[in-house]
Amino acid sequence: MSASSLSVSARIFWLIFLVLLFLHQDFWNWTDERTVFLGMPVGLFHHALFSVACSVFGAWAVCRAWPKEWEEWADPLDASSEESTESKSSFPKE
């Protein structure tokens, strides 16, 4: 479960993230004011589509890259999590 060894799905996650980050800049639309769809100029329409792409990315992440190991690690101790941190923590006060 360490962060050092990235799984294939984690690598794909970061790759898609970086591609979307680049697409967000859309410098090619900066001086274009054509209205393309539902009264939106192209610069705004691009970003509305970008929002939809982020949702699709989220759906992919949930289906293909969900960190099940963290879920499984946390769930078995469901009952004991009712205890508060205060009672469990052994860190000395400064």
For binding to another protein (CB under 8 A), which residues are involved?
Answer: 1-3, 13, 17, 20-21, 24-27, 29-33, 35, 38-41, 43-44, 47-48, 50-52, 54-55, 57-59, 61-62, 65-67, 69-71, 73-75, 77-78, 80-89, 91-94
Give the nearest distance from C-beta 49 to another protein in angstroms. 9
- Helix (H) or strand (E) run with residue 35 in it: strand 35-37
Within the chain, residue ranges assigned H as helices are: 8-25, 42-64, 68-74, 85-88
Cβ 21 to another protein, closest distance in Å? Answer: 7
Q: How far is the CB of 26 from another protein (least distance, A)?
A: 7
Contact criterion met (CB below 8 Å) for 13 and 65 = yes
Rounded CA-CA distance 67/10 in Å is 10
